[in-house]
Amino acid sequence: MLIPILALLAIALYLAAATGLARPLLSGGQPLNRTSLGVAGLAVLIHAGILLGMHSGALDLHFFAALSLVACVVSILTLLVNLGRPVAALGVIIFPLSALLLAVDTFMARERAPLVMDWQIKLHVTVALVAFSVLSIAAVLAILLAFQERALRHRQFGNWLRALPPLTLTETLLFRLIGAGFVLLSLTLLTGILFVDDLFGQHLVHKTVLSIIAWLVFGVLLYGRWRHGWRGRRAVNLTLVGMGVLLLAFFGSKFVLEVILHRGG
């Protein structure tokens, strides 16, 4: 009974934080509300506690549990990004999604025992989780960058636009996140090669192939940025393509197996 109550509290805090961050974007007030970030921080702590309690402190990779875990990590990274480079709009998008995924995992998902993993696989999964989370934030930032560029091109200077960092700073942050995510994704592939014994037996071939494709997309983007100064729409499109492929790699088969076919993932 305690976990549902805590989940409702965390959901309310996530939504309150998003509302507090959104209000200045609409009214033209202070771009970043530190109180709202504190509320989000409390929501993240409760969310993490719920994950530990629901899944017995284990790393649960079933579909809805994994989505909730990713949401928690992405929320943590969103708070860290805002400490260094305030982008309140990230929280407006990410915190409600975290609330939704927490609600689904708590109130709608079937209970499953976490899969047993040795420390090598746990290391591989943890690196993959952080890589996916960093690149998820990069994808959200790419969407914001696209809207920012379009608004500037059409001279639509709304309050939300003024609340975002300058275009060059948003772009710089985007490529820093992509660079960090690319390194982590490289480590994910490396630890997979070192620690996963039987790709065919564990039905991981498609995940590996899609992850390599995503790695190539982000690698090409970073090379194009370094060598040719790629930016704008090309950077946004490649970021979203890479993230889409990575989303299929991480969650595509789990969705089909667990949600549609109701089989173990």
9-33, pLDDT tens digit by residue? Answer: 999 999 999 998 888 766 655 555 6
Distance CA 91, CA 14 (A): 9
What would the pLDDT profile of 208-251 be if each residue is shown by its tens digit?
889 999 999 999 999 999 988 888 889 999 999 999 999 988 88
Average the pLDDT over 22-45 and give the result: 78
Distance CA 71, CA 76 (A): 9
Return the pLDDT at 207: 83
Q: Are 87 and 63 in contact (CB under 8 A)?
A: no
Least Cα distance to 139 among 239, 265, 23 occurs for 239
Asked whether the predicted pLDDT for residue 192 surpasses 70, the reply is yes
42 token code pair: 């409390």
73 token code pair: 């990590």
Return the pLDDT at 201: 47
H-assigned helices in 229-265: 232-247, 253-254
Between the alpha carbon of residue 172 and those of residues 73, 132, 148, 167, the distances in Å are: 22, 19, 14, 9
Largest CA distance in the chain: 57
Per-residue pLDDT band for 200 (boundaries 50, 70, 90) equals very low
pLDDT, mean over the chain: 84
Percent of the chain with pLDDT over 70: 79
